[in-house]
Amino acid sequence: MVEKMSQAKLLKTVKKIIPPLTGALHKGQAGRIAVVGGSEDYTGAPYFASISALKLGADLSHVFCERNAGLVIKTYSPELMVHPYLRNTDSLGKPNDRQREIDAHVDRVVSMLPRLHVLVVGPGLSRDEVMMEMTKKIIIKAKENKMPLVIDADGLYLIQSEPELIKGYPLAVLTPNVNEFSRLCEAMNVRCDKEHIETAAEKLSQALGNVTILQKGENDTISNGKEVLTCSAEGSPRRCGGQGDLLSGACATFLAWGKNYEAKAWDHSKNDDLDDDFETRLPLLAAWAASLLARNCSKAAFAKHGRAMTTSDMIEQVGGVFQSIFEPDQKQAVL
């Protein structure tokens, strides 16, 4: 368990990387996020992840989804940029053209990577063989571009099957729930039974080459194999689908802010006293901050809606919760 003073220091550090609300910034500097996911049967998850990133304060949010999911996701919100470039097994052409068609569509996604800061991989992806193959190629290219990755849902199924995809990649954050965590531990020969559960996230991170693990549970445990953080902020007893997607989108936004802070996308000369190891700890900090935000959004939404609470109600709380916890002091406008 992290002590209260440590929690306060973590919060202080996260606040420093939040972009200021100033006319000096231009569109995109506060984060350009993309979600790789969304299939014919699962269109809500990529929407929740991408809209949560926007609501938190990212400037632009993209969704790379399967062709049949594109129009559906577009109808959810005009704020999202939806690119139906992914394909599944049923939507490919002739068998002898399969690989060429897959590569062509992957290239469409890859061509946009230089315009993005962070990828969220997995919400609504499905386990279709072709979708998995395309996602694998996208992850490889994203790593070549040194992009932070947040991997959730069916993206974790891919990692479970092929852990070498992200093993040793320090910019990856994995956000497994109880069942996903158990399967990842099994794949990496890490014990996570009751006797070993308190150290399992740390051991799993080490087994995966120190990627950051956000183990979701009654308390969220975050580890990069060297350090362990715990977020035990009060949430709610409601377990509606989509809450993890909000968490993933929020984590991506905090990662983008940290990445742009490092790149000096805005003047922070008066606020430039971060620890020397900030760059290596950024995924850990982003995961902790996202956990804190998601738990408080759940608490606020449940207080208002009770058992009727859904993830959409949580998303409505993002702005207010963020302001109450993270918002740096802003000068009042002069009228």
For residue 253, the domain's CATH number is: 3.40.1190.20
What residue ranges in the chain does DSSP mark as E strands? Answer: 32-36, 60-66, 81-86, 118-121, 149-151, 172-174, 212-215, 220-223, 228-231
Cα–Cα distance measured from residue 71 to residue 304, given in angstroms and rounded to the nearest whole number:
32
Which one, of 284, 267, 266, 265, lies nearest residue 275 by Cα? 284
In a domain, 333, yes or no: no
128-162 pLDDT, tens digit per residue, is 999 999 999 999 999 999 999 999 999 999 999 99
Q: Are 25 and 261 in contact (CB under 8 A)?
A: no
70 has binding-site annotation: no
DSSP code of 333?
P
> Rg (Cα) of the chain, in Å, rounded?
19
Domain count, the chain: 1
Cα gap 331→206, rounded to integer Å? 44
Residue 189 among known ligand-binding residues: no
Indicate whether 332 belongs to any domain: no
67 is an annotated ligand-binding site residue: no
* Residue 100: other Cβ atoms inside 10 A: 10
pLDDT digits (tens, 9 = 90+) for 229-280: 999 999 999 999 999 999 999 999 999 999 999 988 888 776 667 777 888 8
Size (the chain), residues? 335
Burial of 113 (0-12, 13-18, 19+ CB in 10 A): middle
Per the annotation, does 319 bind a ligand?
no
219 annotated ligand binder: yes
pLDDT of residue 297: 98
Positive or negative torsion for Cα 231, 293, 186, 281: negative
237 labelled ligand-binding = yes
Give the residue numbers spanning the domain of 111.
Answer: 7-327
Q: How far apart are CA 267 and CA 292, in angstroms?
A: 27
Q: Is 330 annotated as a binding residue?
A: no
Residue 267 labelled as part of a binding site: no
In terms of Cβ atoms closer than 10 Å to its own Cβ (0-12, 13-18, 19+), residue 28 is middle
> Which residues of the chain are under the pLDDT cut of 50?
1-5, 330-335
Is residue 115 situated within a structural domain? Answer: yes
CB 244 within 8 A of CB 177: yes
228 annotated among ligand-binding-site residues:
no
Task: Please tell me what DSSP assigns to residue 231.
Answer: E
Give a yes or no: residue 92 inside a domain.
yes
Does the annotation place 231 within a ligand binding site?
no
Helix ranges, 17-128 (H): 44-56, 67-76, 98-110
Q: Is 238 annotated as a binding residue?
A: yes
Residue 326 labelled as part of a binding site? no
Which pLDDT value is given to residue 278? 84
218 annotated to bind ligand: yes
Strands annotated E in 186-265 = 212-215, 220-223, 228-231
DSSP state of 308: G
220 is in an annotated binding site: yes
CA atoms within 13 A on the CB side of 231: 26
Give, for 245, the enclosing helix (H) or strand (E): helix 243-262
335 located within any domain: no
Contact criterion met (CB below 8 Å) for 156 and 133: no
Supply the pLDDT for residue 328. Answer: 61
239 labeled binding residue:
yes
Is 244 annotated as contributing to ligand binding?
yes
d(CA 93, CA 23): 48
Quote the pLDDT of residue 270: 64
- Assess if residue 24 is contained within a domain: yes
In 3D, which of 122, 113, 177 has the Cα closest to residue 151? 122
Is the CB of residue 258 less than 8 Å from the CB of residue 250? no
Backbone angles phi, psi at 306, to 5 degrees: 60, -140
Residue 2 placed within a domain:
no
What percentage of the chain's residues is helix, strand, coil (to nearest 5)?
50, 10, 35
Q: How many other C-beta atoms lie within 10 A of the C-beta of residue 304?
A: 12
Tell me the longest C-alpha to C-alpha distance in the chain.
67
179 annotated as belonging to a binding site for a ligand: yes
32 annotated binding-site participant: no
Q: Is 235 annotated as a binding residue?
A: yes
The answer to whether the annotation marks 327 as part of a ligand binding site is no
Beta pairing, strands 60-66 & 32-36: parallel
C-alpha triplet 169, 171, 172: angle, nearest 5°: 75
The pLDDT assigned to 332 comes to 40
> Quick check: 25 and 262 in contact, CB under 8 A?
no
